[in-house]
Chains A and B, each alone.
Chain A
Amino acid sequence: MNLVDIRNLEVQFPGATEPLTVIDDLSLNILPGEILGLVGESGCGKSMLARSIMGLVPSPGNVSKGQIFFGDLDLLTLDEPSRRSLRGNQISIILQEPMTTLNPVYTIGNQIEEVLKEHRPDMKRSERRQLVIQLMKQTGIPSPEARIHQYPHELSGGIRQRVAIAMALVGGKVQLLIADEPTTALDVTIQAQILKLFVELQKEHQMSLLLITHDLGVIAQTAHRVAVMYAGRLVEVAHVEELFDNPRHPYTRGLLHSLPRPGSHSRKQPMPSIPGTVPSPGAIPQGCAFYDRCGFRDDKQCLNERPNLEEGATEHWVSCHFAAEIPPFKVNSSDEVTP
């Protein structure tokens, strides 16, 4: 049984002549209690996917096709009040920039407590306060009794992100936590602490975690399963070990090659990287979206035919015409990234 089941999701924005598709025919499931990593370069639609699940696609964008099941509920057919009752309660999100996600003019106590006021109207004021303090303790915020009266600008980035986490979990019924680049804006030392906290809390609250990042290192440390996204589509989905050992999609391989590893590269060689950039919505090629940047392409099939996400090996899904033919992955064969 899936916790979340996304089927053929399509998200569009109105464009000058025709709608721009930012998420294209995307299907993905999230199992109860798993950490699913979602990777991809910036602009590939990861955040839009997160917002689609939250029901917060920014206007004038809209979900134009597909279904998103949360348990038995089809989220896209729910009315706004019922969706709202899930948000911040059973489905929570943490955004990248803890500096800007907290409202500068309210105390953090007020902002955490607000979730309880909305979703647990039966609770007394004192109970709410107690729960807020307890959550702040759990997320590792020192002396929470004093902090609840502070404003965001008085806190460090790490503490702010902990506040955001407390805010996401305080409802107490969270089944899915979406973390959208939760550590990108933080110092490296703080990053590790926050990641550790995520893993602990995920176990403790027995929730699923959708961890969105462009950092494969983060995925390797935390995720159970990985979904790789490119230009609004999924290109590869697999268990984390499988993906790192046997990546089948050229894009995934490119990402893995550009991961710095101690001793694997000579200092004289430049860091390998994938040439080019993600095509913007509306400029996606007719065939495979990765065509322009791929080292394995051919000029017939890849140029004209869009590959589907297919299950090559057990629970290893790839969308590439050459998924089966591509040679086994070797870390140093970085010349394969050049088209």
Chain B
Amino acid sequence: MVEYTLRRVLSFIPTIIITLTSIFFITRMIPGSPIAALIGHQAVGAEQIEAISSDLGLDKSLIDQYLEWLPAVLTGDFGTSLFYEDSVVQVVMDRFPVTLYLTVFSMILTILVGIPLGIYASIRRGRIADYASNVFSSLGMAMPSFWLGFLLIILFAVTLDWLPASGYRSPDFGIWEWLKRLILPVLAQSLAQIGLVVRMTRASMIDVLDQEYITMARAKGLPESRVVLKHALKNAMTQISTVVGLTFALGLGGSVIIENVFALPGLGQLITIAAVRRDYAMLEGGIFYLTLVALIVNLAVDLAYAYFNPRIRHTG
């Protein structure tokens, strides 16, 4: 297990370089100069444009730009945002906690609701509870999360007036002030994830429950709860942990929209604004850190997978 962990962590380094490289080439290889976005519709002389270009290093070849850029970002320097006029990393770090709270809370909710519901559906296979959970998860996966967000706002903020419709306060303002602004975003973000986790949990549990060792566990006289929760669940967890990791990546993508709906000042909002303004440095930094979170979660999932599956642990 130690060796496996080590190997897996080491393989992280090339992944990060690949990520950065992809980000660089996707954002810069395609036509559309950030200068145009920067100066807007003002009439500007050619000299001035040239000056800005060389300022930003845009007059060099793409490869030269890349070779300068990569070492810089690897040491944590994504340059300066064109619009915030502040170090990209600084801006990103200010926004980072909001996104983290949103994704982590919705992930926790997803796991706490999705896995038990999926297990329950699997043991009630073909009965009403199973169908009900199927309808629930299908609807959850079909509803766009941002629309669900508005529906929640209409219900809980506008009609019932229980929770604020949007905005954010840091925990310094008090736990409740902080939490109550996160409840609706977390709910909106979680529903689709829960749907996915319910379905995958159910499918892998059903797969496992048909195995001979489950019959054997029953034949040993174990109560059904132990058969399901000890023998079936741990086997199903190998698949479920993969799905949970996948869901997390999905959720990070979804958080971009949710932050826009609820006006949460997180990374997602930052990325959208940077994308609309073509603030490349900001976009690159924002996307990198968001992706980094996804990668770390992926790593954690792989390790969890190895933990649940002794065959991986031993053979690598």
Taking Cβ atoms with an 8 Å cutoff, the residues of A that contact B are 51, 54, 56, 58, 84-89, 92-93, 95, 97, 100-106, 114-115, 118-119, 151, 153-154, 164, 167
Contact = CB atoms under 8 A, between A and B. Distances in A.
B15 interface: no
A35 to B, nearest CB: 20
Contacts of A105: 234-235, 238, 308-310
Interface residues on B, range: 20 to 34
Given A100-B212, A102-B213, A93 B219 contact: yes
A84 B215 CA distance: 13
B-side binding surface: helix, strand, loop or mixed? helix
A42 to B, nearest CB: 16
Interface in B220-260: 220-223, 226, 231, 234-235, 238
Contacts, number: 75
Given A87-B221, A104-B311, A119-B221, A56 B215 contact: yes
Contacts of B215: 51, 56, 58, 95, 101
Q: Most A CB atoms within 10 A — which of B220, B222, B235, B314?
A: B220
Given A97-B212, A153-B311, A104 B235 contact: yes
24 contacts: A51-B215, A54-B219, A56-B218, A56-B219, A58-B215, A84-B221, A84-B222, A88-B219, A89-B221, A93-B219, A95-B212, A95-B219, A103-B213, A103-B216, A103-B235, A104-B310, A104-B311, A105-B234, A105-B309, A115-B220, A119-B221, A153-B311, A167-B216, A167-B220
Contacts of B218: 56, 87
Which 8 residue pairs are nearest across A and B when measured between Cβ atoms?
Answer: A88-B221, A88-B220, A87-B221, A100-B212, A103-B213, A151-B310, A101-B216, A93-B219
A51 B311 CA distance: 30
B222 A103 contact: no
Contacts of B310: 104-105, 151, 153
Contacts of B211: 100
Interface string B59-77: 0000000000000000000
Given A100-B213, A102-B216, A154-B314, A86 B221 contact: yes
A93 B4 CA distance: 38
A85 B221 contact: yes
B71 to A, nearest CB: 44
A89 B314 CA distance: 33
Contacts of B212: 95, 97, 100-101
Interface string B277-316: 0000000000000000000000000000000111100100
A54 B221 CA distance: 10
A93 B218 CA distance: 10
A181 to B, nearest CB: 12
Given A105-B234, A118-B220, A153-B311, 5 more contacts: A84-B223, A95-B215, A95-B216, A100-B213, A102-B213
